[in-house]
């Protein structure tokens, strides 16, 4: 049986939209199999996923902070957050929509937009719509013109936990004017335990069910070309050791790429990826209805070997480069500027629907 409990994560953060001082609520979803998930209303953010290893040892396998100050910090790389209105990058912060130029905020080096701009969905205080027997549904209303986007968008994110260790995340949105919408969850995983760092990450194996990647320039902006993975360092269709794959990619810092997922119509959902950590036995499978997934190996977390100071995380953790991986299900980055990519345009009367399942298990 799944149990849902609620407590207060923090008091008094100013809501960036309403300017009121709000209570940030936290929900804990626990099943009978030893798995629990915590999330907070700030940014509809997953703050913890605890799951047993093959010997029954429970550890937290997602990165995060103990307190609100951590999430507010400039050093927070979007840990666990729901990202919107448009995740990933928009080249030059501009695009044409029905023949009209739209200019959105450029929050990265004043060159492009990343993850929705200066105040994305990750900084919003989401409202609690429903607490059910196995989860919680949150909602955020994003005003017309926010960060330069046309139209009011009403987004919901529901998080439910099953008895077989599946965390289901369902993101939906409607708009009153035509606008792009592309949401994702930005959880950072390390199946060796959130504190285990690069050494833990290098022990993982990774498999990604993708036929191609969206080719990018040095700022990770797509060129519009889709490069087949066949015969490249991006061919992860067969499970292989992540540490070795990262070594082989050098001088690149690691993976930070949108993989184009292979679907088997008419199935609406595809197996996107599977990560395993053989020493603990833990594995994670990601299933989604989205055409892409950003596979990111935390290349831009602090490089302690070069003298950077780590990000101080929960439970005294010190997070650094290659300390976790992300599998961010999404439509392709910068789709607004590439007519050959799956469209992110949402029109009035339509409904955006994004389903992703994170299934955890152990191999004995």
pLDDT score at 347: 98
Q: What is the mean pLDDT of residues 334-343?
A: 98
Report in angstroms the alpha-carbon separations of 295 from 257, 321, 355. 6, 15, 17
Distance CA 47, CA 64 (A): 5
Residue 138 has pLDDT above 90, yes or no: yes
Number of domains in the chain: 1
Q: What is the mean pLDDT of residues 213-219?
A: 93
Q: What is the mean pLDDT of residues 48-56?
A: 97
pLDDT score at 218: 86
CATH number of the domain enclosing 178: 2.70.98.10
Neighbours of 3 (CB within 10 A): 13
For residue 328, indicate whether it is catalytic. yes
Work out the mean pLDDT of the chain and round it to a whole number.
97
Q: Which domain does 130 fall in, by range? A: 3-362
**Active-site entry in 147, 203, 285, 328:** 328
Which DSSP string corresponds to 266-278?
Answer: T-S-EEEEEEEET
User: Per the annotation, does 256 bind a ligand?
Assistant: yes
**Active-site entry in 186, 277, 322, 338:** 186
pLDDT-based confidence at 232, cuts 50/70/90? very high
Core vs surface per residue 9-42: b (16+ CB within 10 A) or e: bbeebeeeeeeeebebbbbbbbbebebbbbbbbb
Q: What is the mean pLDDT of residues 92-116?
A: 97
- Rounded to a whole number of angstroms, the CA Rg of the chain reads 19
Q: Three-state SS across 7-58?
A: EEEEEEEECCCCCCEEEEEEEEEECCCCCEEEEECECCEEEEEEEECCCCCE
pLDDT score at 182: 98
pLDDT score at 333: 98
**Residue 315 — φ and ψ, nearest 5°?**
55, 30
Q: What is the mean pLDDT of residues 95-109?
A: 97
For residue 207, indicate whether it is catalytic. no
Neighbours of 147 (CB within 10 A): 19
Residue of 261, 256, 297 whose CA lies nearest to 88: 256
Residue 348 has pLDDT above 90, yes or no: yes
The pLDDT tens digits for 181-195 are 999 999 999 999 999
Q: What is the mean pLDDT of residues 319-345?
A: 98
pLDDT score at 219: 85
Distance CA 289, CA 331 (A): 10
User: Per the annotation, does 319 bind a ligand?
Assistant: no
Report in angstroms the alpha-carbon separations of 2 from 58, 102, 132, 349. 17, 45, 10, 35
Residue 243 has pLDDT above 90, yes or no: yes
Q: What is the mean pLDDT of residues 213-225?
A: 94
CB 246 within 8 A of CB 254: yes
Residue 364 has pLDDT above 90, yes or no: no
Percent of residues, the chain, with pLDDT higher than 70 = 100
DSSP character for 163?
T
User: Per the annotation, does 89 bind a ligand?
Assistant: yes
User: Per the annotation, does 134 bind a ligand?
Assistant: no
pLDDT-based confidence at 325, cuts 50/70/90? very high
Element (H, E) at 142: strand 135-142
Residue of 316, 308, 208 whose CA lies nearest to 257: 208
Q: Is the dihedral of CA 233, 78, 53, 259 positive or negative?
A: negative
Core vs surface per residue 200-216: b (16+ CB within 10 A) or e: bbbbbbbbbbbebbbeb
User: Per the annotation, does 75 bind a ligand?
Assistant: no
Residue 50 preceded by cis peptide, ω within 30: no
- The pTM for the full model equals 0.98
């Amino acid at each position: 049986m799944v149990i849902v409990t609620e407590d207060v994560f923090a008091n008094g953060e100013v809501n960036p939209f309403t300017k009121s001082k709000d209570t940030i609520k936290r929900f804990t979803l626990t099943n009978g199999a030893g798995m629990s998930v915590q999330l907070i209303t700030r940014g509809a953010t997953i703050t913890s996923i605890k799951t047993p290893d093959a010997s029954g040892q429970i550890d937290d396998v997602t990165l995060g902070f103990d307190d609100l100050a951590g999430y507010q910090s400039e050093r927070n790389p979007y840990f666990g957050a729901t990202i919107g209105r448009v995740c990933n990058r928009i080249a030059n912060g501009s695009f044409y929509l029905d023949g009209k130029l739209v200019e959105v905020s450029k929050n990265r080096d004043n060159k492009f937009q990343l993850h929705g701009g200066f105040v994305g969905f990750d900084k919003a205080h989401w409202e609690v719509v429903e607490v059910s027997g196995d989860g919680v549904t949150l909602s955020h209303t994003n005003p017309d013109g926010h960060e330069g986007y046309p139209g009011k968008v009403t987004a919901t994110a529901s998080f439910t936990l099953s008895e077989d260790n599946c965390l289901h995340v369902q993101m939906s949105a409607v708009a009153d004017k035509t606008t792009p919408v592309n949401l994702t969850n930005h959880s950072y995983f390390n199946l060796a335990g959130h504190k285990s760092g690069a050494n833990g990450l290098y022990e993982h194996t990774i498999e990604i069910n993708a036929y191609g990647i969206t080719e990018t320039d040095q700022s990770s902006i797509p060129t519009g070309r889709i490069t087949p993975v066949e015969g490249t360092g991006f061919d992860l269709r067969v499970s292989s050791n992540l540490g070795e794959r990262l070594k082989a990619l050098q001088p690149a810092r690691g993976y930070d790429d949108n993989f184009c997922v292979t679907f088997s119509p008419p199935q609406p959902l595809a197996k996107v990826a599977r990560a395993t950590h053989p020493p603990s036995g833990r594995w994670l499978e990601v299933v989604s209805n989205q055409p892409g997934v950003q596979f990111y190996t935390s290349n831009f977390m602090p490089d302690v070997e070069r003298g950077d100071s780590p990000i101080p995380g929960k439970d005294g953790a010190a997070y650094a480069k290659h300390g976790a991986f992300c599998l961010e299900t999404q439509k392709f980055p910068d789709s607004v500027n590439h007519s050959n990519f799956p469209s992110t345009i949402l029109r009035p009367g339509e409904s955006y629907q994004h389903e992703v399942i994170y299934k955890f298990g152990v191999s004995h």
